[in-house]
Chains A and B, each alone.
Chain A
Amino acid sequence: MLNARALAATALLPLVANAQNQVNMSTGVSEAGAVITDLGVEIYDLHMLIFWICVVIGIGVFGVMLYSIYAHRKSKGVEPSQFHEHTGVEIAWTIVPFFILIGMAVPATSTLLEVYDNDDAEMSILVTGYQWKWKYEYLDADGENVAFFSNLATSQEQIYNTDTKGENYLLEVDEPLVIPVDTKVRFLITANDVIHSWWVPEIAVKRDAIPGFINEAWTRVLAEGVYRGQCTELCGSYHGFMPVEVHVVGQNEFDDWMAAKKGAAAADAALAATELSVDELMARGEDVYNASCLACHGANGEGGLGNAIAGSAIAMGGLDSHLSVIVNGVAGTAMQAFGAQLSDVDVAAVTTYQRNAFGNNTGDVVQASDVVSYKEG
């Protein structure tokens, strides 16, 4: 009885909590009134133009129909007319819509040509879809690329209703894409496994990420802020859990962020040369596990979409075969080759974690140098 009442209360909660429900496409203008992208505004205007044309035609058609339903009913004693063709009318309602369509095609064509104008980009970012995360790689002119993965940051507890859902539930990531304001950014979009689609509604960019293809898209964001989107092509079990988060910042802030990223990459490389303690490896390994392994292998290594890790022959057997699975993946399955996704330190940490967590307790410690020597064969 109590349970039923609690259930009813939670059932009604969203109706109260979200007073504002967005019913239309993003206008391309921020809440403060600043234009986010010119293209977004143009697409919104086009969408509304077609919508209103449809509304006017709809009022005409439904109006005639409703009047007819009201006036031409047998209960009013009307005698049915027997006319059944009229060449003039029939030609008219074939020709007139054709001209209306031409009126729609003209602005649609010009907007489409702009969407496809990828020239003169000031910077390029390679976006790669993985099951189920995005990789962003800033393609630097002097070859010093910065790359990182962007994972869902919403906790499993929120998803499984044991914790209160945050404001940006399912739309938040651990490391967002950062781009400078008022800069023409070209996205090169591809995928590593299945087809994904990279979409941020407010900046009006959506392009499929297809393995073996590199698609192009671009944006020039005029208003600083945080813009959120999601993967929009079914890509497997956790398709609903790979958001996109874009931070648009001033040029100076962007430069600082980029410098910090490059510094962190250098620090990671330095870390790979040192010996880490078991605790350090386990702590780091847990973070890596939660971001990269948990979705398939479960919060307690119990398995799910992937095999169980707790008590598994691989995680408790020979180190080389364990590293092989993590670094090279397993062909023909959803197990990816993480050697290309994680740094050597992270591979070492997560391997250590898997061999000692969930009751595996092998006592093995794997260092980055072990991963390097494994990779070198």
Chain B
Amino acid sequence: MGDHHHGPAKGLSRWLYTTNHKDIGTMYLWFSFAMFLLGGAFAMIIRAELFQPGMQLVEPGFFNQMTTLHGLVMVFGAIMPSFVGLANWLIPMMIGAPDMALPRMNNWSFWILPPAFLMLASTLLMEGGAPAFGWTFYAPLSTTYAPPSVTFFIFAIHILGVSSIMGSINIIATVMNMRAPGMTYMKMPLFVWTWLITAFLLVAVMPVLAGAVTMMLMDIHFGTSFFSAAGGGDPVLFQHIFWFFGHPEVYIIILPAFGVISQIIPAFSRKPLFGYASMVYATAAIAFLSFIVWAHHMYTVGMPVAGELFFMYATMLIAVPTGVKVFNWVTTMWRGAMTFETPMLFSIGFLVLFTIGGFTGLMLSIAPADFQYHDTYFVVAHFHYVMVAGAVFSMTAAIYFWLPKWTGRMYNETMGKVHFWVSFIGFNVTFFPQHFVGLAGMPRRIPDYALQFADFNMMSSIGAFIYGASQLLFLYNVIAAIVAGEKVSDEKVWDGAEGLEWTLPSPPPYHTFETPPKIEEQPAH
């Protein structure tokens, strides 16, 4: 053993024992993509059953297991780990650090994820079936009335929480301690900034989720009555605790997406990001507001009117910093010299569709109108516009943008563009009609529906199959690029790309920035 490892170990042990941020980032990304396909398969079953009125393929109880697992797998298995993978790959390279601050913990925070999801998926085979109470698992449906597999679900959630907290502490420690000399906070790329703020949100709210599921566990097995009215408990308390976690969770998912978009749009506009400082402040403002708006998910639980008004006003305020971000991105494009490679297409798709999701979010914030929207397909449409077109589109953009850097090989641009257009059309055919059926009165989480919703549901299902199939094209394009893509000769890959990661060779060596880079005096981007 010399003083330096110049390359990775060989075989399986490389991946099991690795403490290298690039290897761990890669594992996170592949794992999240596998979960994306699994959660997508659940969604296909949901849409197939909803293709026509009447029960055709599955029983109502199994349908509820599908909606529950779809939500849990997509939120905790696909979206969150994918952004952690991105953070692992990019944060050290963006701030000029040799690796993450806590590499062994980094290994552990990844490797506890697969067993947790294996356990969650195995509930499908248990007696009584998988959890069927929705990803929001409201008590007492998730306690007194839950299938026995709920205990495994609780354990899985605990493990995911531990993983997220370890990952977040690692990111905070890395960003605070390992920036190259001269890389001041206000020079950090916006992706690093959004992840730093996200990591603080995670550390703050994951313990709250852990508390909620622990209280459930006590109610189920140890005779307490936290959420059981019959024992003097309070079912609404569960919702307050859940959403105190759940609303910041939404921003945990979307803030790193904002960071990605803030890297990509300037690169393809060949122009610095407009309003860098205001982007940082807007992100912090959104993070702060996320802690004081949780009860807007609960307008119909019968809160006092003063509570409704407070949460309505606070929620409406989120439109201000979010608006600032959208205006900044559009102004970044203004008078640039744009080209429209796949990452830029997905970023523009993000910008358009996320803004639509923002508008419906503003509509949903209006409490008296929300009495008509609440728990309908209008809400389903809204959060898929911000989750899929927001988080997933930006993640896809990120993969296309940095893949040539990571692998040193280029993906097929034509296939990438086809992937974008099929995704964009498939997504809108799926989710736009859901605004209509929701407003017309279709509740969410139902396996069968009244006849007046039939046409739009069929349209939704067709769109979903198109969107689902287009992801296989993505998978093929990525694998083909890794295996046989055209070699990238240039370090920069994209002529407008800025930042330390683009000063490294493509692909970067196993260890990078072992001596800190010199940060040039230049305006922040």
Binding site for B on A (CB under 8 A): 10-11, 14-15, 17-18, 20-26, 42-43, 46-47, 50-51, 54, 57-58, 61-62, 64-65, 68-69, 72-75, 78-85, 89-90, 93-94, 97-98, 101, 104-105, 108-109, 111-116, 131, 158-161, 165, 167-171, 193-195, 197, 199, 201, 204-208, 210-213, 215-216, 229-241, 304-305, 332, 334
Contact = CB atoms under 8 A, between A and B. Distances in A.
Nearest to B321: A94
Contacts of A83: 274, 335
B443 interface: yes
Interface stretch (B182-190, B243-251, B297-305, B410-418): B297-305
B52 interface: yes
A195 B138 contact: yes
A74 B277 contact: no
Interface stretch (B22-30, B119-127, B308-316, B385-393): B308-316
Contacts of A210: 229, 235-236, 301-302
B456 interface: yes
Contact of A65 (B54, B132, B133, B333): B333
B369 A230 contact: no
Contact of A46 (B61, B319, B368): B368
Contacts of B55: 159-161
Contacts of A170: 53, 448-450
B366 A104 contact: yes
A234 B141 contact: yes
Contacts of A82: 271-272
Given A210-B301, A237-B59, 15 more contacts: A61-B326, A68-B333, A69-B348, A74-B270, A85-B277, A105-B316, A108-B366, A115-B368, A159-B55, A194-B141, A212-B234, A230-B443, A232-B374, A234-B138, A239-B446
Given A46-B368, A68-B330, A115-B368, A201 B458 contact: no
Given A54-B359, A61-B355, A170-B449, A241 B60 contact: yes
A81 B320 contact: no
Nearest to A210: B235
A22 B374 CA distance: 18
14 contacts: A26-B441, A73-B338, A84-B272, A93-B324, A101-B316, A108-B369, A112-B309, A170-B450, A205-B371, A210-B301, A211-B230, A213-B235, A230-B441, A234-B133
B348 to A, nearest CB: 7
Residue of A18, A25, A84, A216 with highest tally of chain B CB at under 10 A: A84
Given A24-B440, A85-B276, A239-B64, A108 B368 contact: yes
Instruction: Please tell me the size bucket of the interface on B.
Output: 35 or more
A81 B336 contact: yes
B447 interface: yes
Contact of A72 (B309, B338, B371, B439): B338
A64 B369 contact: no
B100 to A, nearest CB: 30
B316 A81 contact: no
A209 to B, nearest CB: 10
A361 to B, nearest CB: 29
B374 A75 contact: no
A272 to B, nearest CB: 29
10 closest Cβ contacts across the A-B interface?
A212-B229, A240-B446, A14-B454, A215-B302, A22-B440, A54-B359, A84-B272, A80-B337, A111-B368, A232-B375
